[in-house]
Structure 1
Amino acid sequence: MCRWMAYSGDPALAEALLFRPAHSLINQSLHARLGAETTNGDGFGIGWFGEQPFPGMYKSVLPAWNDPNLREISREIRTRLLFAHVRASTGAAVQRSNCHPFRHGRWLWMHNGAIMNFPLLKRDVMLAVDPSLYPDVEGTTDSEALFFLALTFGLMEDPPGAVARVIGLVEDLARRRGVPDPLQMTVATSEGESIWVFRYSSQGRTRSLFYSTDIAQLRKLYPALDVLQQLGTDARFVVSEPIHHLEGAWTEVPESSYALVRPGTHEQHPLVPVRTRQQTTA
């Protein structure tokens, strides 16, 4: 599967966020410690919000550690909100359109996990996507399918409700097709102001997900660590696995829950699947 990170806070250079931490996402693309695979070399992508009304993106099928253009542009991108993802394919082709994050309008989406036995469920899943959205689907991954299902179910108005309905739909379709424990997901999505992150699996054993604690408090605990002095007090990270190994710096997102992350704050809530009218009457 994959590794990802999201940053929210004062504008920071993408290079500092991607390359400088001791266990940076670039390092994790080669040496992941908590993922299903050690190497995540099937492409990568970054999405960021800057001065334009819509997020920018850069994606490549090269491994993140072996793309000199990523290093070049990351020195020039200063952003208040960054998504970054390194991919380990679960079966879909290694192509640019299958690299995360995915974008629709102002919204970004990235995912670690899988819809189990997706080839069997794919037709049912894609038929549930709103016909007006379907032409914008570019790739072949279950991750992008989850994004467009969430958009169909109202992601732009109610992200937690939309994702809860996506989970309910996928589990219902899988039950009908005899697919056990169909969903494994940690997800991040944003419209440029807030980040919503979700951790859920049908089996109750979801891939790891952590968020950073208060930067001001960490500065007091680790006054000699330069990287903490360079970040504003509003800085928040959400990561598949910690990018620094500091005691007290990270809190694990609980199983079957979601968090709303804004500069300087965060809040957690339970995530419960919701069956939609479409599902109960089909």
Structure 2
Amino acid sequence: MCRWLAYTGSPVLVHDLLYRPEHSLIVQSLSSTMGAETTNGDGFGLGWYTDLPTPGVIRSTEPAWNDRNLEEISAHIRSPCVLAHVRASSGSAVQQTNCHPFRHGRWLFMHNGSIDGFLTLKYDLAMAVDPVLFAGIEGSSDTEMFFHLALTLGLEEDPVGAVSRAVGLIEETGRRHGVDFPLQMTVGMTDGETFYAFRYSSQGRSRTLFHSADIATLQQQYPGNQMLRRLSEDAKVVVSEPLSDLKGAWREIPESTCLVLHKGQEQMLPFEPQPRLVES
């Protein structure tokens, strides 16, 4: 499917996040070890926050491992909150408007997985999107539709509840059309202040998702590790697959879980869909 990375903490050079780890996201774009596909070369995207009202976003259909502009730009951006994504299309076109992360106001949203039978469900799901928001859908991907459903269902006021309601709507719609397991997802989203990661699938066999262990503890365990020394004690990293083989550095996020990160604090919440029947 795809691979993604999210960072929150003191401002960090984006190039260090993307290129320095031994199993960096750039390496994963060419040779993933835990993904459904080894190669994630159908484009990439980068989102980051500064003191401006909305986050910056760049997206491209080029493979991340072969894009000199990404390497150049990332070496000149420092940010306290970064989302990065490398794409392996699950069926929608390889075009810039289908690359993650997607942006609405201060929110960024990215996804690894798919809505099964999306072309069959697409009309019903599109009709459930708030007409005011519908004009903001630029591409043809299931992820962008998912994001706009969550926005419709209250993401800006109740982020976890909105995603739960959107998942419930997708599953109800899918099952009405005979799709047994409508959704596979790991989702990362943020408003630049709080980051939310979701791991869930209708089948109960979700894609991999990990978060970093306590940075201060790791710095004590590995005092010579240059990458760890660059991170603040409140830094948190969430990844589709670990960026290194450091023992104890990565913890798997459990199935059907939402991880919430805010100012260095983390909270694990059980996640389940909220059914919301839609009319045929």
What range describes the TM-score normalised by the shorter chain of this pair? over 0.9
Partner of 2:23: 23
Paired residues, what number? 280
Q: How far does residue 30 in structure 1 lie from its aligned partner after superposition?
A: 0.4
Stretches of structure 1 lacking an aligned partner (at least 5 in a row): none
Partner of 1:271: 271
Q: How far does residue 138 in structure 1 lie from its aligned partner after superposition?
A: 0.5
Measured in 2, the distance between the counterparts of 1:192 and 1:96 equals 23
Partner of 2:238: 238
Partner of 1:125: 125
1:217-271 per-position Cα deviation (integer Å, ceiling 9, x unaligned): 0011111111111111011000000011111111111101101012322110111
Contact 1:214–1:264 at 8 Å: present in 2 too? no
Measured in 2, the distance between the counterparts of 1:45 and 1:261 equals 21
Q: How far does residue 281 in structure 1 lie from its aligned partner after superposition?
A: 6.2
TM-score (norm 2): 0.98
SS of match in other structure, 1:7:
strand
Measured in 1, the distance between the counterparts of 2:56 and 2:109 equals 13
Q: How far does residue 92 in structure 1 lie from its aligned partner after superposition?
A: 0.4
SS of match in other structure, 1:38:
coil
1:74-97 per-position Cα deviation (integer Å, ceiling 9, x unaligned): 011000000000000011000000
Measured in 1, the distance between the counterparts of 2:151 and 2:264 equals 27
The answer on 1:38 being equivalent to 2:38 is yes
1:118-146 per-position Cα deviation (integer Å, ceiling 9, x unaligned): 11111111111111100000000001010
Contact 2:212–2:251 at 8 Å: present in 1 too? yes
SS of match in other structure, 2:52:
coil
Partner of 1:142: 142
Fraction of identical pairs, as percent:
55
Partner of 1:59: 59
Higher mean C-alpha displacement, 12-21 vs 261-270 = 261-270
Partner of 2:14: 14
TM-score (norm 1): 0.98
Partner of 1:47: 47
Measured in 2, the distance between the counterparts of 1:51 and 1:273 equals 34
SS of match in other structure, 2:135:
helix
AA partner of residue 79 (structure 2): T
SS of match in other structure, 1:6:
strand
AA partner of residue 110 (structure 2): M
CA spacing shift, 1:20–1:180, aligned 2, 3 Å = same
Measured in 2, the distance between the counterparts of 1:86 and 1:263 equals 26
Write out the 4+ residue segments of structure 1 that deviate beyond 6 Å after TM superposition: none
The answer on 1:104 being equivalent to 2:131 is no
SS of match in other structure, 2:132:
coil
Contact 1:14–1:75 at 8 Å: present in 2 too? yes
Partner of 2:163: 163
Partner of 1:71: 71
Measured in 2, the distance between the counterparts of 1:50 and 1:131 equals 30
Partner of 1:194: 194
Measured in 2, the distance between the counterparts of 1:181 and 1:163 equals 17
Stretches of structure 2 lacking an aligned partner (at least 5 in a row): none
Contact 1:236–1:263 at 8 Å: present in 2 too? no
